[in-house]
């Protein structure tokens, strides 16, 4: 038979799932490998969705999404970050940030265009750039400066082929939050070199001891930024498949074209749920954020005590400690930890080469489970330290 | 200026203590070491705060939430609304006190509406509770009427849901 798509074949299968069929079978295994909240969606949101189904909200919506939801998204972004988007033409409701990311890249990229991103990075970025026909250019970041994006390195990586810079702060997998100054410099470089910015701000509500900086709100950024936002993490709504993209009208129109012909619209029940989340979800967001924050401090302190060094992450719900003291590679560490102590983590190298020597632990798990997992990891580290 | 500073410190202290109380309310066995790590405080600070909260009677005591039904010890609960004629000087307080001193009384509230006191009572059997109402409550001075409702099923109490816990439906690993 004829060969299948080269663009698709060139993408290696997901490294993240490799050990985890095993983990799923192991009894008594504690998983710190989950990239989604351990909370279920707050009841008032679920209840609003049930009501919507009862009332017969079962149809397609406008391709852009329900106007009332777009209005709420625009109002929410204006109130929180001072960015202004017109609900008529600059807000698009997407099937999660996942779809937003895909259509953003497809709207931007021509064959051969380079998209710069910082590693370790969320596992979908490189494949999505490749699917869009672009060339990913990955810049490493280092845990010794808290995985801050390196502006000098970025300056050197910018070429006439660079089309866009992809940003993700707060970051998956490192939990890093880029400082406002760094982001301002990145925006200045983007303006200088006339490149677009795609900013995945899905973890915007999960920041600790700091404020979130919305990239689109920085001077000069709005006209060249696609802002991706979501409900999955802040409102514990991963399964609803809902998010949004905001950009200047001509840019959003391009994304909308792809969305219209591939997705048609986001599920209406999820859109109704998202309306409820924006309208009345604030208390619950804060309750969950506070809970994550307490776990975060505990995990960071314990990991550092046992020799798995980490700079305290300021966002999301991940820690990305160095495992250097064990002398093991990320995959060896992960595999042995799974077999010897029945704790599942994610090897850092699946997030890019600069993730080697680290593992990702998610603290989106109940405190008693986290504590038991930390006890097991400590035992493991003691055994493997030279 | 100094006053403002002092006011701010008091507010911070209040926030800290509130966070400690919230953690202990969830799990009274959380150690001062764990609380200190969770809140970014010194262990000694946490110990002191807990001591203060205990002495001030803000932390009343540490108890365990038990599902006695599941253990096989059945208990019957009843809500009893009590109509009381108030007395000069004391209002309802003296009657409330005479009621809450009985150990089988779990709670006594002064409430608005048709009745005055709402009493929650437990017993091993319905008969035992009926006897308590007939022999102890109703005959009290100034108690005019009682209205008893037996609890048939407990769904949620003190924030605790008494159903099987929902399983964790997430995949073991997700991006
Ligand atoms: C950085 C990042 N972007 C996007 C997503 C996908 O989000 P959604 O559920 O909105 O598609 C995730 C989920 O793990 C993520 O971590």
- The ipTM (two decimal places) reads 0.78
What are the start-end ranges of the H helices in B60-162?
A: 68-71, 93-100, 126-132
A88 within some domain? yes
Of all protein residues, whose CA lies closest to atom 14 belonging to ligand 1?
B175
Judged by a CB distance cut-off of 8 A, whether residue A294 touches chain B is yes
A385 within some domain? no
Question: DSSP characters for B106-130?
Answer: EEEEE-SSS-SEEEEEEESSHHHHH
Are A19 and A332 in contact by the 8 Å Cβ rule? The answer is: no
Q: How confident is the model at residue A284 (pLDDT cuts 50, 70, 90)?
A: very high
What pLDDT is attached to residue A25? Answer: 83
Q: Which of A131, A125, A214 is nearest to A165 (CA)?
A: A125
Average pLDDT over residues A146-170: 97
Q: Which of A125, A109, A118 is nearest to A161 (CA)?
A: A109
What pLDDT is attached to residue B69? Answer: 87
- The total of other beta-carbon atoms located within 10 Å of residue A222's CB is 21
Angle at A76 between CA A201 and CA A122, to 5 degrees: 10
A386 within some domain? no
Burial A228-253 (b: 16+ CB within 10 A, else e): bbbbbbbbbbbebbbbbbbbbeebbe
- For ligand 1, whether the C-beta of A117 sits within 6 Å is no
Three-state DSSP class for residue A92: strand
Domain boundaries for CATH 1.10.10 within chain B: 2-55
Q: How confident is the model at residue A168 (pLDDT cuts 50, 70, 90)?
A: very high
What pLDDT is attached to residue A180? Answer: 97
Do A238 and A319 share a structural domain?
Answer: no
User: Which CATH number fits the domain that encloses residue A348?
Assistant: 3.90.1150.10
Do A247 and A102 share a structural domain?
Answer: yes
What pLDDT is attached to residue B126? Answer: 95
Three-state DSSP class for residue B100: helix
Q: How confident is the model at residue B171 (pLDDT cuts 50, 70, 90)?
A: confident
Judged by a CB distance cut-off of 8 A, whether residue B172 touches chain A is yes
Rounded to 10 degrees, the C-alpha dihedral A73/A171/B170/A57 comes to: 10
Hey, which residues does A199 pair with through a beta bridge?
A: A167, A227
What pLDDT is attached to residue B87? Answer: 86
Judged by a CB distance cut-off of 8 A, whether residue B34 touches chain A is yes
Do A82 and A49 share a structural domain?
Answer: yes
What pLDDT is attached to residue B90? Answer: 85
Residue A334 to residues A3, A299, B26, Cα–Cα distance (Å): 35, 18, 32
Q: Which of A251, A280, A309 is the last residue of a domain?
A: A280
More confident residue, A26 or B127: B127
Three-state DSSP class for residue A64: coil
CB contact under 8 Å between B172 and A36, yes or no, is: no
pTM of the complete model: 0.91
- Residue of chain B nearest A37, judged by CA positions: B170
Q: Is residue A262 over pLDDT 80?
A: yes
Do A157 and A62 share a structural domain?
Answer: yes
Q: How confident is the model at residue B108 (pLDDT cuts 50, 70, 90)?
A: very high
Judged by a CB distance cut-off of 8 A, whether residue B23 touches chain A is yes
Do A196 and A107 share a structural domain?
Answer: yes
Are A317 and A296 in contact by the 8 Å Cβ rule? The answer is: yes
What pLDDT is attached to residue A184? Answer: 98
Do A330 and A239 share a structural domain?
Answer: no
Rounded to 10 degrees, the C-alpha dihedral A56/A60/A63/A66 comes to: 0
A178 within some domain? yes
Q: Which of A258, A280, A302 is the last residue of a domain?
A: A280
Residue pLDDT, tens place only, B45-71: 999 999 999 999 999 999 999 988 889
Q: Is residue A290 over pLDDT 80?
A: yes
Judged by a CB distance cut-off of 8 A, whether residue B171 touches chain A is yes
Residue pLDDT, tens place only, B26-51: 999 999 999 999 999 999 999 999 99
Do A364 and A256 share a structural domain?
Answer: no
What pLDDT is attached to residue B103? Answer: 93
Q: How confident is the model at residue A21 (pLDDT cuts 50, 70, 90)?
A: confident
Q: Which of A280, A304, A337 is the last residue of a domain?
A: A280
Contacts of B39 in chain A (CB under 8 A): 294, 297
* CATH code reported for the domain at B2-55: 1.10.10
What pLDDT is attached to residue B1? Answer: 58
Residue pLDDT, tens place only, A361-384: 999 999 999 999 999 999 999 999
Record the tokens describing residue A116, joined without a space.
């710069």
Q: Which of A35, A233, A364 to mutate to test the pocket of ligand 1 (most atoms within 8 A of CB)?
A: A233
Are A204 and A314 in contact by the 8 Å Cβ rule? The answer is: no
User: Which CATH number fits the domain that encloses residue A79?
Assistant: 3.40.640.10
Three-state DSSP class for residue A288: helix
Contacts of B172 in chain A (CB under 8 A): 20, 23-24, 29, 31, 33-34, 344
Do A208 and A75 share a structural domain?
Answer: yes
Q: Calculate what percentage of chain B has a pLDDT beyond 90.
A: 74
Do A100 and A113 share a structural domain?
Answer: yes
Q: Is residue A253 over pLDDT 70?
A: yes
A113 within some domain? yes
CB contact under 8 Å between B175 and A16, yes or no, is: yes
Q: Is residue B3 over pLDDT 90?
A: no
- Residue of chain B nearest A24, judged by CA positions: B172
A258 within some domain? yes
Do A134 and A248 share a structural domain?
Answer: yes
Q: How many domains does chain A have?
A: 2
Record the tokens describing residue A365, joined without a space.
């798990």
What pLDDT is attached to residue B2? Answer: 67
B68-153 to CATH, choices 3.30.70.920, 3.30.1280.10, 3.40.50.11540, 3.40.920.10: 3.30.70.920
Judged by a CB distance cut-off of 8 A, whether residue A291 touches chain B is no
- For ligand 1, whether the C-beta of A172 sits within 6 Å is yes
What pLDDT is attached to residue A247? Answer: 98
Residue A71 to residues A67, A75, A225, B70, B114, Cα–Cα distance (Å): 6, 6, 20, 50, 46
A237 within some domain? yes
Average pLDDT over residues A189-213: 98
Rounded to a whole number of angstroms, the distance between the first and last alpha carbons of chain A is: 53
For chain A, the average pLDDT equals: 96
Contacts of B40 in chain A (CB under 8 A): 297
Are A146 and A176 in contact by the 8 Å Cβ rule? The answer is: yes
Distance separating alpha carbons of residues A94 and A81, to the nearest angstrom: 21
Q: Is residue A87 over pLDDT 80?
A: yes
Contacts of B168 in chain A (CB under 8 A): 38
Distance separating alpha carbons of residues A385 and A328, to the nearest angstrom: 9
Of all protein residues, whose CA lies closest to atom 7 belonging to ligand 1?
A97
Three-state DSSP class for residue A226: strand
Do A350 and A246 share a structural domain?
Answer: no
Chain B nearest C-alpha distance from A163 (Å): 26
Ligand 1 center–CA A3 separation, angstroms: 31
Judged by a CB distance cut-off of 8 A, whether residue B175 touches chain A is yes
Do A190 and A160 share a structural domain?
Answer: yes
Full domain range(s) for residue A131: 43-280
Ligand 1 center–CA A98 separation, angstroms: 6
Q: Which of A168, A169, A202, A274 to mutate to test the pocket of ligand 1 (most atoms within 8 A of CB)?
A: A202
Domain boundaries for CATH 3.30.70.920 within chain B: 68-153
Quick one: DSSP state of residue B90?
T
Q: Is residue A17 over pLDDT 90?
A: no
A276 within some domain? yes
Q: Calculate what percentage of chain A has a pLDDT beyond 70.
A: 99
């Amino acid at each position: 038979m004829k060969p299948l798509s080269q663009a698709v074949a060139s993408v290696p299968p997901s490294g993240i799932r490799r050990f985890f069929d095993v983990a799923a079978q192991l009894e008594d295994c504690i998983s710190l490998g989950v990239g989604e909240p351990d909370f279920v969606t707050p009841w008032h949101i679920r209840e609003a969705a049930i009501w919507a189904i009862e009332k017969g909200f079962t149809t397609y919506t406008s391709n852009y999404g329900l106007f009332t939801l777009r209005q709420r998204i625009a109002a929410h972004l204006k109130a929180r970050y001072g960015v202004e988007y017109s609900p008529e033409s600059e807000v698009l409701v997407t099937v999660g940030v996942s779809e937003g990311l895909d259509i953003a890249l497809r709207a931007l990229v021509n064959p051969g265009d380079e998209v710069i991103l910082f590693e370790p990075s969320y596992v979908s970025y490189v494949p999505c750039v490749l699917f869009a026909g672009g060339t990913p250019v990955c810049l490493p970041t280092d845990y010794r400066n808290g995985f801050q994006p390196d502006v000098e390195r970025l300056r050197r990586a910018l070429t006439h082929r660079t089309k866009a810079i992809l940003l993700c702060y707060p970051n998956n997998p490192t939990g890093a939050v880029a400082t406002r100054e760094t982001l301002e410099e990145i925006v200045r470089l983007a303006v200088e070199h006339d490149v677009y910015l795609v900013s995945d701000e899905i973890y915007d509500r999960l920041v600790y001891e700091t404020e979130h900086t919305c990239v689109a709100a920085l001077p000069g950024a709005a006209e060249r930024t696609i802002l991706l936002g979501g409900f999955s993490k802040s409102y514990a709504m991963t399964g609803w498949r809902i998010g949004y993209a905001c950009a200047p009208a001509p840019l959003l129109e391009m994304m909308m074209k792809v969305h219209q012909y591939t997705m048609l619209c986001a599920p209406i029940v999820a859109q109704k749920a998202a309306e409820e989340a924006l309208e009345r979800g604030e208390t619950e967001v804060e309750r969950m954020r506070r809970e994550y924050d307490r776990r975060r401090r505990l995990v960071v302190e314990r990991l550092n005590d046992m020799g798995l060094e980490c700079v305290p992450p300021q966002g999301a719900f991940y820690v990305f400690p160095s495992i250097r003291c064990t002398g093991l590679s990320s995959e060896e560490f992960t595999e042995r930890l799974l077999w010897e102590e029945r704790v599942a983590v994610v090897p850092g190298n699946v997030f890019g080469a600069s993730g080697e020597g680290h593992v990702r632990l998610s603290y989106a798990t109940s405190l008693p489970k986290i504590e038991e997992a930390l006890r097991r990891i400590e035992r493991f580290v003691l055994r493997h330290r030279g | 200026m100094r006053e403002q500073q002092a006011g701010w410190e008091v507010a911070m202290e209040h926030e800290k203590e509130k966070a400690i109380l919230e953690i202990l309310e969830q799990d009274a066995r959380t150690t001062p070491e764990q609380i200190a790590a969770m809140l970014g405080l010194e262990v000694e600070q946490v110990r002191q705060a807990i001591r203060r909260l205990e002495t001030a009677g803000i932390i009343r005591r540490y108890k365990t939430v038990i599902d006695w039904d599941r253990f096989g010890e059945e208990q019957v609960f009843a809500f009893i609304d009590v109509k009381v004629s108030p007395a000069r000087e004391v209002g309802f307080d003296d009657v409330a006190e005479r009621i809450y001193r009985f150990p089988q009384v779990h709670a006594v509230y002064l409430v608005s509406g048709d009745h005055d006191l709402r009493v929650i009572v437990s017993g091993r059997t319905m008969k035992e509770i009926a006897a308590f109402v007939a022999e102890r409550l109703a005959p009290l001075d100034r108690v005019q009427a009682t209205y008893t409702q037996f609890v048939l099923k407990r769904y949620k109490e003190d924030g605790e849901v008494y159903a099987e816990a929902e399983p964790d439906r997430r995949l073991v690993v997700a991006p």
